[in-house]
Amino acid sequence: MISEEQFLTSVFWAQELPRDEQERARRGITLRTVEAGAYLIHRGDRIDNWTGVVTGLLRLGSITTSGKAVTYAGLPPSCWFGEGSLLKDEPRQYDVLALRRTQVALLNRATFHWLYENSVAFDRLLVRLINERLGQFIAQVEHDRTLDSAGRVARSLASLFNPVISPFMGSHIDISQEEIGLLAGVSRPVANRVLQELEKAGLLRNEGGGVTILDLERLRYYGE
DNA sequence: GCATTAACACGTA
DNA sequence: TACGTGTTAATGC
């Protein structure tokens, strides 16, 4: 179980629940650390938790039959995921890999289902998140087919700062150019070149192991 | 052409 | 020493 203070500061949806439901949710959450390069979830695993990123960075994706890594989304701090597998009670469809040492919060299955059955506030939260994620993935399919590498890097960076999905993000993220390349599906030299291009355009600031976003709206539509 | 990999130099924690 | 960044050369689709 996590402390009340940790619950309120690291779980963005805590305040959306009435007091008694908050307390029930808090008692159902445990913390866990995943080392850099380790898998939190393998494709085919049975899922027993709804999972939130507290610190660090995860990559949602899979490996194609030809062995190529495909990224579906970066999962930054304050992002919660895995509700699909819990609601459908089916094995996990994708891999979740820690790009760096990452702390996650795990809400156990029983508590998740209790909230799902009994809390209007929790259901509204789920609908909002699923709706937003659907829009994000549809946009991503379009962009992967139309944008060049600069647009894809800009897009995948911008998607980390989605205020519905990861509301605690602010404007800075600790992420190396190597990791940006892994998320955007480009090599590090390309990520490096694009980041300099985006900095020249005034959309972000490169800070060595991190990036500060200066203009999220233009970053989101860069290259269109 | 544009991207990738491998390699090297450089600065910093 | 380890890591992140900037850059180049060789190579492939």
- How far apart are alpha carbons A108 and A165 in whole angstroms? 20
- CATH number assigned to the domain with residue range A147-220, chosen from the 4 options 1.10.3720.10, 1.10.10.10, 3.10.20.90, 2.40.50.140: 1.10.10.10
| A196 C-beta less than 7 Å away from strand C | yes
Mean pLDDT rounded to a whole number for chain A: 93
What would the mean pLDDT of A133-151 be, rounded to a whole number?
Answer: 88
Q: What is the pLDDT of residues A169-210, one digit of tens each?
A: 999 999 999 999 999 999 999 999 999 999 999 999 999 899
Distances (CA, A) of A42 to A103, A146, A155: 17, 30, 26
Alpha-helix runs per DSSP H in chain A: 4-10, 19-27, 83-88, 109-118, 120-146, 149-159, 177-184, 188-200, 216-220
| In chain A, ranges of CATH 1.10.10.10 domains | 147-220
| Confidence (pLDDT) at A62 | 87
| In chain A, ranges of CATH 2.60.120.10 domains | 4-119
- How far apart are alpha carbons A99 and A34 in whole angstroms? 10
CA at A12, C1' at C2: how many angstroms apart?
Answer: 35
| A93 C-beta less than 7 Å away from strand C | no
Q: What is the pLDDT of residues A72-115, one digit of tens each?
A: 999 999 999 999 999 998 889 899 999 999 999 999 999 999 99
| Confidence (pLDDT) at A143 | 83
CA at A8, C1' at B13: how many angstroms apart?
Answer: 32
Fold that domain A4-119 belongs to in CATH:
Jelly Rolls (2.60.120)
Element (H, E) at A206: strand A204-206
CA at A209, C1' at C7: how many angstroms apart?
Answer: 18
- Closest nucleotide (C1' vs CA) to A209 is C4
A88 burial level (CB within 10 Å; 0-12, 13-18, 19+)? exposed
